Homo-oligomer: A and B are copies of this chain.
């Protein structure tokens, strides 16, 4: 099978655009037996993980917040994070773009350059996709494909397991809050929103060294995503709120502690990892993890018999009242 990079496409403006996209494509990993240009791409691996993630202008981002390159990067990173959430290794992605007429030139090329960069940073190639018009907003749907030799699901947590998270939580929501009130966000917060880093290498390291019992990525906020692990595993999640690694912004307008904690729990799109492991298994490995990746590991909760999401208060465990993040459109 030959990998065809656009030279197999006939004439037409849609195909000219696809040819421009493919000029900057990085080499795909060896599992990709046929790249873009035919009716389908072909991938060979013992087991593949697949997930799709749609980003829509006005729902997931506003155009004046992000450059077209960042819009593409962020959409691809969000989708790639779902592979990290299974400890799957990225192979490639398909990107479908719905583009208003004015965006079908340089904007489209910059969007795809962002998608391609996010993929290439994790060793993945662009396998295909679609380009079409849109009478309204710009939308991107990214489908990711990864090698899942030993996937870690949401359903393996057991009562007594510790619940850990990577990194700091609430950064993306901090940027969002600044934009929504008309401010310029803190630079680090903006970076968390505009160029999230899928924890792919971190997830593969954890799979190899810690063997988590359950794993998920944080796209809807820690409280809501931990609830998915709890529901899938048949356990209650009980947080120690003082242990949550809260993103803190700089500057005079920085949020108070309670706001920062709320953002960490219910602000979405941090794309950190949340995982569970039997007691005592993670702590001896935490220093090595942090040295390898420069990313914190924090033990934030415990799995207990029961269901739902709680926090440990003065009078025992109490229900956590925060709702998961569901996009800023008020859905």
Instruction: Give A residues with C-beta under 8 Å from B.
Output: 1-2, 4, 7-14, 33-34, 37-44, 46-60, 82-83, 85-86, 88, 94-98, 101, 127-130, 132-137, 139, 141, 143-146, 148, 151, 153-155, 216-217, 220, 224-225, 227-228, 230-232, 323-324, 326-327, 329, 331
Given contacts A42-B49, A136-B134, A141-B96, contact A8 B54 (CB under 8 A): no
Are B86 and A331 interface neighbours, CB within 8 A?
no
Are B40 and A51 interface neighbours, CB within 8 A?
yes
In the bound complex, how far is the Cα of B329 from the Cα of A7, in angstroms? 26
Are A47 and B33 interface neighbours, CB within 8 A?
yes
CB distance from A285 to the nearest CB of B (A): 23
Q: Which of B4, B60, B128 contacts A232 (CB 8 A)?
A: B4
Q: Which of B47, B50, B129 contacts A128 (CB 8 A)?
A: B50
- Chain B residues positioned under 8 Å from A326 (CB to CB): 12-14
Task: Name A224's closest neighbour in chain B (CB-CB).
Answer: B10
- Chain B residues positioned under 8 Å from A139 (CB to CB): 98, 134, 139
How many copies are assembled? Answer: 2
Are B47 and A148 interface neighbours, CB within 8 A?
no
23 contacts between A and B (CB under 8 A): A2-B155, A7-B231, A9-B228, A9-B232, A11-B227, A34-B151, A34-B153, A40-B49, A41-B51, A42-B50, A43-B47, A43-B48, A50-B94, A50-B128, A52-B96, A52-B129, A54-B98, A56-B133, A96-B141, A133-B329, A133-B331, A134-B139, A135-B136
CB distance from A264 to the nearest CB of B (A): 17
Are B50 and A43 interface neighbours, CB within 8 A?
yes
Interface centre among A86, A323, A331 (most CB of B within 10 A): A331
Are B224 and A12 interface neighbours, CB within 8 A?
yes
- Chain B residues positioned under 8 Å from A230 (CB to CB): 10
Q: Which of B96, B134, B135, B232 contacts A8 (CB 8 A)?
A: B232
Are B39 and A82 interface neighbours, CB within 8 A?
yes
5 A-B pairs with least C-beta separation: A136-B136, A8-B232, A10-B227, A39-B85, A141-B141
Are B146 and A8 interface neighbours, CB within 8 A?
no
In the bound complex, how far is the Cα of B38 from the Cα of A50, in angstroms? 10
In the bound complex, how far is the Cα of B142 from the Cα of A40, in angstroms? 13
Are A143 and B94 interface neighbours, CB within 8 A?
yes
In the bound complex, how far is the Cα of B327 from the Cα of A12, in angstroms? 12
Q: Which of B1, B10, B56, B217 contacts A98 (CB 8 A)?
A: B56
In the bound complex, how far is the Cα of B82 from the Cα of A151, in angstroms? 28
